[in-house]
Amino acid sequence: MPKFKLDDYEIEFSPGETVIQAAERAGRSIPHYCWHPGLSVAANCRMCLVEVMPPPGRPALSLDVLRFDEKKGDYVKAKKPKLQPACQLAASDGMEIKSDTSEHVIEARAAVQEFLLLNHPVDCPICDQAGECRLQDYWLDHSGRSKRMRDEIIHKPKAVDFGPTIVYDAERCIVCTRCVRFCEEVVGDPVLDKRERGNLGEIVLAPGRKLDHAYTLMTEYVCPVGALTAKDFRFKARVWFLKSVKSICVGCATGCNSYTDFDPRDQTVYRYRPRENAAVNRYWMCDEGMLDYQRIRERRILRARVQSDPGASATDALHKAAALLKGPGLAVLLSAEHSSEDNVSVLELGKALGAEQFFMTGRPNGEGDNILRNADKNPNRRGILNLLPTVSSLAALEKAVEAGQVTRVLALGSAVDGSADFLRKVPVVALSVHDGPIAQAARVTLPAASWAEAQGTFTNAAGLSQVSEKAVNPPGDAQPGWRWALHLAGALGVSLPFTKGSEVRARVQPRPSTAPSAQA
Amino acid sequence: MTTQETFSSAEGLGPRKVQGKPLARPDRSVGVQAFIPALIGGLGQTIGRALVNTKEMVLGTRPDPVLEAINDGINTISYPEQRRPYPERFRGVHRLTQREDGSPRCVACLCCSTACPAQCIYIEAGDYEGDKKHAGYEKYPKRFVIDELRCIFCGFCVEACPCDAIRMDTGIHPAPYDSRDQFIYEKDLLLSIPGRHGDHESANPRIEPGEPGFPGITRLQHH
């Protein structure tokens, strides 16, 4: 593999890569604003300037400059090397590049930083980006001094309403055009553009349009500064209070990799952020997915419910559920909304109780596109099919209930892809997160933990199994599916092939090295 | 006893003989044991002091505790009628300063609650709405709660505040309330507490860009 030298490090690259790409991959990041690995190169922020050493025997590209001489008290003629943007510089074999070790690069970075902050209002206290802002980070790393301009700053439009989800502040904008390029290149909806130049430059909407495509929050997320802010997250939390766990978006069957950002103090999830995965979502996520955290708290079932007895305690509900499940004609209704862990727990409980008929449901189909969004809004349909390839649909369950083959149902999940009215005819014990059609029809409903409250494995439409970590504690009496399965098994006097969460996870989670032997 | 002493001293250990001048026994004469002269003397001093205090109170000539502290001798402060004045930089209970229009200067940046080692500050941020001057881009605290019982009065919140919105210059020390919820100071209460000079606005004026007095040169002045 060809190599180039960045400061004191040898960095390998594949032909065609730029210096910044290879450096980023090698973990020797070069500071940048406008460059984004998933977007085209604009080279307009000038933060990634590096010094390219001339080949042996060749003179360096240099510029004639005037430099202030302290001793003479006057400007003197000097030379300085012509710096080049690393994002636009194709790497070539044997190249020698100076970044952190070049005094010219260090000076240029400080100058660029000062330049970008010339007209910045420095309103970090009221800016949602504070804490994850490139301007803050790079100011500390590369500048650390106040600006020398004594003029009033250029005032530009503030709080411009870009659409239903986004607010734009032109004073904080560094006009890196990441948002413009994202809308054009990834979404294919060139709704943003740049107008004016120099210190009057700002991002504008196409006339008569709003930023209202399906990836507006991602447009906000690519913004390296606080110019674009999301209305949803606006003024809700300060990012330094938030903790992140690696999660999988459960909004659809694509299974985008995400971070769940939550406040550990009040156990509240505040947002989803995309997590890079070249095999699934690259760098992106859709609005639906990034706002999906809201669903965690919506219409939650916090206490066990018995339809005939509103005052029943959790123990009463458990015994009532056990009584309903005992007997012939038991069917298990799995949910493509839930993780494989939840599904396998309910499946094993059903098998232990002698169930022979298995059905699957989930959220109804929605809108899809050919970027990320899948029309199947269930994150784990493939996971259930892997567990149980012969599983039948909700319509088949309805027929079986009408025909009298099914006389009792153990159901998992909240939403159904069809009508759940027929479930009222038979006793149903449901493990539900939300108050949906299944919980409405069920004689006994036990509160299940949501996807953010338990570790779970989801298999996306492409067949890739991915693990989503636990972020917050389950609210109320909610518990993960395997715990309820164990409680029910205890009340019914049957034994399950697992006794703790790790054993359930071992049955479903992908383990490259040990998977074949463990499953056999 | 003697054997023991000999044994101990032979070993070089054990209790040594106490050497020193024997003290005179206290006077236990009848006059002293009866306590009567001392009793009369003590009562006389108490009554005399009471008379002096009453006279000073009536005439209003009670010495200033600060000036009295300069003199030699024991300084008496008749707390709570008389109080030693707190130093200028005493950190009392918090207050929230106001802008000219009476709205809080606080922009709900949460710097104070971040800096607070006791985690006693709770802030809920909100948007200025309608035709307010800062509507659209500035935050304000919808709720601002300080648990004065949990506060350790370190003053980090005042140091952290970028807007001079929280101050501890009230000169008030937290009162001993009789229930815990009285120590929970809400925004309205914090805004209503004046500084030690009775002011609600902070000493540092808040000048928006474009207003006269804004630091730096405006475009019009310059060009």
Q: How far apart are CA A245 and CA A293, in angstroms?
A: 13
Higher pLDDT, A477 or B202: A477
With beta carbons less than 8 A apart as the criterion, state whether A442 and A435 touch.
no
For chain A, positions 105-164, list CB contacts with chain B under 8 A: 121, 123-126, 130, 150-153, 155, 158-159
Smallest CA–CA separation between A50 and chain B, in Å? 34
A130, closest residue in chain B (CA to CA) = B109
Q: Do B219 and A152 touch (CB under 8 A)?
A: yes
Model confidence at B101, pLDDT cuts 50, 70, 90, reads: confident
Q: Positive or negative, the Cα torsion across B177, B182, B183, B187? A: negative
Per-residue pLDDT at B2: 45
Q: Do B137 and A153 touch (CB under 8 A)?
A: no
Upstream peptide bond of B80 is cis (omega within 30 degrees of 0):
yes
CB pairs under 8 A between A and B: 54
For chain A, positions 197-236, list CB contacts with chain B under 8 A: 234-236
DSSP β-bridge partners for residue B126:
B140
Per-residue pLDDT at A510: 65
Q: What's the CATH number of domain A3-116, 3.40.50.10610, 3.40.50.2300, 3.10.20.740, 3.40.50.720?
A: 3.10.20.740
Per-residue pLDDT at A56: 87
Q: Name the residue ranges covered by the structural domains of chain A.
A: 3-116, 305-519
Of the candidates A121, A126, A150, which has its C-beta nearest B217's C-beta?
A: A150
Of the candidates B135, B139, B219, which has its C-beta nearest A235's C-beta?
A: B139
Q: Do B107 and A158 touch (CB under 8 A)?
A: no
Smallest CA–CA separation between A120 and chain B, in Å? 12
Number of neighbouring beta carbons within 10 Å of residue A236: 14
The angle formed by the CA atoms of residues B137, B139 and B143, to the nearest 5 degrees, is 160
Smallest CA–CA separation between A159 and chain B, in Å? 5
Candidates A238, A241, A268: best to mutate against B (most CBs of B within 10 A) is A238
Q: Do B137 and A151 touch (CB under 8 A)?
A: no
Burial class, A38, CB count within 10 angstroms (exposed 0-12 / middle 13-18 / buried 19+): middle
Contacts of residue A236, Cβ cutoff 8 Å, sequence gap at least 6: A270, B125
Task: For A118-156, write each residue's pLDDT tens digit.
Answer: 989 888 999 999 999 999 999 999 998 888 887 778 888
Number of neighbouring beta carbons within 10 Å of residue A123: 19
Among candidate residues A394, A383, A352, the one with its CA nearest the CA of residue A496: A352
Per-residue pLDDT at A482: 94
Per-residue pLDDT at B33: 86
pLDDT at residue B79 tops 50: yes
A299 shares contact with chain B (CB less than 8 Å):
no
DSSP β-bridge partners for residue A334:
A360
Of the candidates A151, A153, A169, which has its C-beta nearest B137's C-beta?
A: A169
ipTM of this model?
Answer: 0.83
Per-residue pLDDT at B209: 59
DSSP β-bridge partners for residue B140:
B126
Residues in chain B whose beta carbon is closer than 8 A to a beta carbon of chain A?
Answer: 107-111, 114, 125-127, 135-139, 162-163, 209-210, 214, 216-219, 222
Q: Positive or negative, the Cα torsion across A146, A149, A150, A152? A: negative
Which tokens is A279 given?
Answer: 């095999």
Dump the DSSP string for A245-305.
Answer: EEEE--SSTT--EEEEEEETTTTEEEEEEE--BTTTTBT---HHHHTTTHHHHTTB--S-E
Burial A69-93 (b: 16+ CB within 10 A, else e): eeeeeeeeeeebbebbbbbebebee
DSSP β-bridge partners for residue A75:
A68
- Which residues on B lie below 8 Å from A120 (Cβ)? none
Among candidate residues B115, A19, B48, the one with its CA nearest the CA of residue A9: A19
pLDDT at residue B7 tops 50: no
Per-residue pLDDT at A217: 96
Q: How far apart are CA B138 and CA A86, in angstroms?
A: 37
Smallest CA–CA separation between B124 and chain A, in Å? 8
Per-residue pLDDT at A333: 96
Per-residue pLDDT at B214: 61
pLDDT at residue B204 tops 90: no
- Calculate what percentage of chain B has a pLDDT beyond 70: 85
Residue A43's identity, in one-letter code, is: A
Q: Would you tell me the crossing angle of helices A314-325 and A481-492 to the nearest 10 degrees?
A: 70
A305-519 CATH: 3.40.50.740
Which tokens is B111 given?
Answer: 């710097």
A266, closest residue in chain B (CA to CA) = B122
Q: Name the CA radius of gyration of chain A, rounded.
A: 29
Note the maximum CA span of chain A. 102
Per-residue pLDDT at B17: 78
Contacts of residue A229, Cβ cutoff 8 Å, sequence gap at least 6: A127, A128, A129, A166, A167, A169, A220
Q: Do B214 and A153 touch (CB under 8 A)?
A: no
With beta carbons less than 8 A apart as the criterion, state whether A174 and A129 touch.
no
Number of neighbouring beta carbons within 10 Å of residue B193: 16
Of the candidates B114, B139, B218, which has its C-beta nearest A126's C-beta?
A: B139
Residues of chain A with pLDDT under 50: 513-520
Say which residue the tokens 């494995």 belong to.
A457
Question: E strands of B1-44, at which residues?
Answer: none
State which of A269-273, B34-38, B69-73, B195-199 shows the largest mean pLDDT.
Answer: A269-273
Q: How far apart are CA A349 and CA A351, in angstroms?
A: 5
- H helices then E strands: how many in chain B? 8, 5
Candidates A126, A167, A231, A233: best to mutate against B (most CBs of B within 10 A) is A126
Burial class, A458, CB count within 10 angstroms (exposed 0-12 / middle 13-18 / buried 19+): buried
Q: Do B162 and A125 touch (CB under 8 A)?
A: yes
Smallest CA–CA separation between B200 and chain A, in Å? 22
Per-residue pLDDT at B6: 46
Q: How far apart are CA A481 and CA B94, in angstroms?
A: 48
A270 shares contact with chain B (CB less than 8 Å):
no
A238 shares contact with chain B (CB less than 8 Å):
yes
pTM for the model? 0.85
Per-residue pLDDT at A336: 95
Among candidate residues A12, A51, A9, A18, the one with its CA nearest the CA of residue A36: A18
Q: Do B217 and A126 touch (CB under 8 A)?
A: no
Per-residue pLDDT at A456: 94
Q: How far is residue B168 from each of residues A320, B45, B149, measured CA to CA in Å?
A: 59, 43, 15
| Contacts of the segment A228-232: beta carbons below 8 A, 24+ positions apart | A228/A162, A228/A166, A228/A167, A228/A168, A228/A179, A229/A127, A229/A128, A229/A129, A229/A166, A229/A167, A229/A169, A230/A128, A230/A165, A230/A166, A230/A167, A230/A271, A231/A164, A231/A165, A231/A166, A231/A167, A232/A165, A232/A271, A232/A291
- Which residues on B lie below 8 Å from A169 (Cβ)? 137
Higher pLDDT, B202 or B200: B200
Q: Do A153 and B114 touch (CB under 8 A)?
A: no
Of the candidates A126, A240, A241, which has its C-beta nearest B107's C-beta?
A: A126
B109, closest residue in chain A (CA to CA) = A125
With beta carbons less than 8 A apart as the criterion, state whether A450 and A296 touch.
yes
